[in-house]
Structure 1
Amino acid sequence: MGTEFIYDAVVIGGGPAGATAAQTLAKKGKQVLLLDKRGRVKPCGGAIPPRLIKDFEIPDELLVAKAKSARMVSPVGKTVDIPIENGFVGMVDRAQFDEWLRVRAVAAGATREDGLFETLTREGPLARIHYRTRGARDGDSGAIKSVLTRAVIGADGAKSQVGRSAGVQGCAEANYVFAYHEIIKTPPNTPHHFDSTRCDVVYQKPISPDFYGWVFPHGDTISIGTGSADKGFSLRNAVAKLRADVGLEGAELIRHEGAPLPMKPLKKWDDGQQVVLAGDAAGVVAPASGEGIYYAMLGGQLAGEAVYEFVESNDPAKLQLARKRFMKEHRMTFWVLGIMQYFWYSTDKRRESFVKMCEDKDVQKLTFESYMNKKLVRKKPLAHIKIFFKDMGHLLGLAKA
């Protein structure tokens, strides 16, 4: 009887984080198994900034639309249109985009298998991954299989089963926003106020009491969704209302998805032995904006690099590098956005002031430069000071009220 094959790494979850982690390791010559659950698509507006397109070499044909502006809609219906100067925000369909990333990982040398993670057990310095294969037809229970691996990357979404099995402490329940969206077919005659190059963000209580709703064009389709941390709030009813509000209630429904979105990075991403988390599993969805694709792919790349260093050195401390490197680059952004969501999204009065503040050209310019390039813009300190005092004016005005 032969010796059982040992993978260098098993990546669990084939979304942007997992697919990027698998590709990163495969390109470095490691034996990687990408274990993915067939047919899972996350609710997502599908916006990707130029920094992602450049850093991760995303071909133009994957962009189903290019947004040239954003419209913010206040609680009382006031709109602020923000042009995206000198560029665009790419829009992708997650079903197509995620599959393309998985195929790219396989092309780099990763092995892909369709299966559902069950549990993780330890065998000395190795981990054994137990998973259930999918049957030939949906509904078939499949068979339980297992593989041995030196390292594990859990990219299996919020409330990660891998993280729980490995004993990595999870996010507090209060840090989740629950998201739901519907992908509808773009009707031949769209309402006159619909713009196929504009992303609409709606800050209205019936659509979301504490987050926002969105209408994002995807070329032949449109993503309409919302999110809320209020478990008693009906996301489906809110999306139905939003569809009616924008005149798209009669459009054909193609698919719908729902999932929790973490709003705070975990304090620890690894178990100190073989496992490191990436993407939603690590909590890297940006507060306030809910943006996750770029941060997921960067987290996946950093997890892949940390696992490579771990496998090469047999030093489990190397697994900590994924979080250290991520937070060094983006800690301030997450801190600022977290405060913004906590304060500005808490009441309709504050959300009204927030949308009003976004009329300011300095705010618009710095916000989009930071979003597009994924850096808090530091080259214009006077503009930052100016915005700080404007922001404080709004805060003090609210404090008096």
Structure 2
Amino acid sequence: MINTGSTGFMLLATSLVMLMTPGLAFFYGGLACKRNILGIMMQSFVSLGLTTILWFFVGYSLCFSGGEGAILGNLDKMFLNGIAPTDMFGDAGFPELVFVAYQMMFAIITPALITGAFANRITFKAYIIFLVVWQLFVYYPFVHMVWGGGLLAEMGVIDFAGGIVVHATAGFAALASVFYVGSRKYKDSKPNNIPLMAVGTALLWFGWYGFNAGSELNVDGITALAFLNSDIAASFAAITWMIIEWLRETKPKFVGLMTGAVAGLATITPAAGLVSMHVAALMGILGAIACYFAVHIKNRMQWDDALDVWGVHGIGGVTGTILLGIFASTAINPVGADGLFYGGTAFFIKELSVVLGASIYAFIFTYIMLMLINVITPVKVSDEEELAGLDISMHGECAYDAIH
């Protein structure tokens, strides 16, 4: 029996998560230099199209069809075979097609997150191959293992909305990409349009309510908790980042404020519906501190993660998952688990082990994958193409009439 309230809410949540990908494009586009705005924005937008096609062909089936206790599902639902509009998703009260669409939006944005790390340096052909292969061998297995009834789910691993599945894997894949493609020749370029970044931040923050609250797959008190926890963590993290930067650099920075908000959102993602509001505030503060100093370490080590994907998403996802292992409480969410703080030592060890394992796997696989892609087509652009900017050299377009 269809529940129109739940169905309507999940369609709204799906739409919010979809909006995050254009939001990410604006966020990255504002941070990029003037010669590379369209190139990096197109990498996000092309995922909307290509990932949808891949999800329709095999993605949904590999993630959510069969394969109980396994690494991947089966191919029974290839081309969304056998899913009728009237088929319900379990006991959730909404059609399975709504779940197909909701999870597809996660698949679209996850590889797009990585693109900020190798801004200005990767060819479009290589990115297209990267987009497909990375999902098949990194994203889909972790979706199935954690959310599709696979191996990690049977072990008792919990990831409410994507600290492991989305942020840790994308963040450490980003770091591997940076190591492989090396530094930009021209690293001194400043953000070309901070107001555009602000629009992107607003869309990401807004869309994240669908990302986290929608992951309850229901409309209940936990949905409301996940919604509010997301805002609390983002707010505490934004102000914490601003204060740290103000103290260290003598001026409060708008870019830092926005970066802190995203760090807080990434940190609360794995725990949004599993911890109290007080813990969400603490997670926002700790997430901002961890991510800020990760970015600082990255700069000192001269790792050219152009838009801080590893420092914000990778470290945010890992930090949030570890804190989930400490502060999760069945008093808050009875279908969750008790973390280390409440005597759940085994749960903490599982969360810690899996998030570290997922990060290491994503890093190693991504590095090897880029080496293999380079055999097929050059991964890194030439010095001349980088100097001209990818907008002109790769796409034959430019964002502004004149570039100074």
Per the shorter chain, which TM-score range?
under 0.3
Which is strand-richer, 1 or 2?
Answer: 1
Greater Cα radius of gyration, structure 1 or 2: 1
TM-score (normalizing by structure 1): 0.23
TM-score (normalizing by structure 2): 0.23
